[in-house]
Amino acid sequence: MFKRIIASTMLISLLATATPSMDQASAAGTAYHVNVSSGYLNVRNQPSLSGKVYTQLAKGYNVTVTSQGNGWARIIFNGKIGYVSSKYIAAGSTVTKASTVSTDYKSKAISIAKSQMGVKYVWGGTTSSGFDCSGLVTYAFKNAGYNKLPRTAGEMYNVGTKVTSYKPGDLLFYATSGGKKVTHVAIYIGNGQMIHAATSKGVSIASINNSYWKPRFIGAKRL
């Protein structure tokens, strides 16, 4: 009987060593990149399809993986912990290849702006504690590697190339006080939608055909 207990204890110990936990499954600080064929990769608050999606990552976006297990990777994104499907990330030599893709700062800027969804509106705000409209745009593009934007919406309207057919990453400008003076800026994200910091809803997504925003539209610029 005593021998059986020892044998059982050794077997349990062996299994525990051979099957690493979620936190032990990979080395901390490993650089991975998002490898989706199209669209965006969902980041959830727990390693399960039932987990709430709190942001999305564009293809080529680099993340830090702290562990992997059961088909899920625990990542750090913009200082937050989240979980993504392991089959849509890649590591090793492919990270070097991803650096070319990651130069698409517009997709990264959109992804970063989406990661701030729900952050409150603060006049003059430029951090995740609170944003105004141009503060969000500056924050998103700066963290995506584009540091050439001026601070205010009016100043931003003076850069880039004017366009009438929009692509994701284009900047949309509005006159919220009437007339033609630019007082608001948003980022076009595709499908007739924009992400911006609105005084009423904070960082949120709205339709460009919204009854409030459409008649106040001034123009769009491509960086």
Supply the residues annotated as catalytic.
Answer: 133, 184, 196
The structure tokens 């504690």 sit at 129
Number of neighbouring beta carbons within 10 Å of residue 209 = 10
The angle formed by the CA atoms of residues 172, 176 and 178, to the nearest 5 degrees, is 115
List all residues 6 or more positions away from 4 whose beta carbon is below 8 Å from its beta carbon: none
- Using CA atoms, how far apart are residues 168 and 193, in angstroms rounded to an integer? 9
Those residues whose C-beta lies under 8 Å from the C-beta of residue 104, and which sit 6 or more positions away, are 58, 60
